[in-house]
Amino acid sequence: MGAERRVVVLISGRGSNLGALLEARLPLQVVAVISHRAEAEGLGLALARGIPTRVIPAGAYAGRTDFDRALQQAIDDFTPDLVVLAGFMRILTPEFVAHYEGRLLNIHPSLLPAFPGLHTHRRALAEGVAVHGCTVHFVTSELDRGPIVAQGVVPVWAEDDEASLAARVLHMEHRLFPHVLRGWAENRWVLGADGRVRWRDDSQEQNLRLLWAGASR
């Protein structure tokens, strides 16, 4: 198949999604993990596996534009094919997003387009939804509205609180993100000219079987 595709992962905290990607032994190469926080625990996960890390401290720059330029330079030093936001808690400038158009993926803890932004689990409970979940999507200049690659669905139980629902969704994130990146590395889905993602062969049926959490509590 030739050289493995190169991925840079951006994180802000503990790096649980990064850990899930690394544990999945995907047919790709994570060439760097970058954070805006030196104390991000996920950096340790990368270092333990010999993956280069970089810290671009947001406080060292006058504003979002300057920070994003520095972040872009750090990313481009590793010449990635894809940039993955795995719990990267910063809003990116339109210039940064345009630079990585079609190469920038994010995982969001809701079934987009429902509940973009923050506090998704609290809002889902307040609305009384029967199902909740997570979405892997391309990043565009419009917050949490880029083309959807795949979604993972979990039930919402009457006894749920914000913490229990968040834990169930996070477990699904750890299934969904590796599934999507494996599909990307194996050319099983493509972003079309119409801005929609299409899975090839029977992959969509496989998605439905894999990414429905059933009735487990």
By annotation, the residues acting in catalysis are 108
Cα angle, residue 149 at apex, residues 84 and 211 outer, rounded to 5°: 100
Strands 197-199 and 189-191: antiparallel
The length of the chain in residues reads 217
Rounded to whole angstroms, the Cα distance separating 125 from 165 reads 9
Beta bridge partners of 85: 10, 106
Residues 6+ apart with CB under 8 A from 200: 187, 188, 189, 190
Rounded to whole angstroms, the Cα distance separating 163 from 45 reads 24
Amino acid at 62: A
Rounded to whole angstroms, the Cα distance separating 5 from 95 reads 24
Residue located via tokens 């990307």: 184
First to last CA, the chain: 41
Token pair listed for 9 = 């992962």
CA 174 to chain centre: 10
Rounded to whole angstroms, the Cα distance separating 53 from 34 reads 6
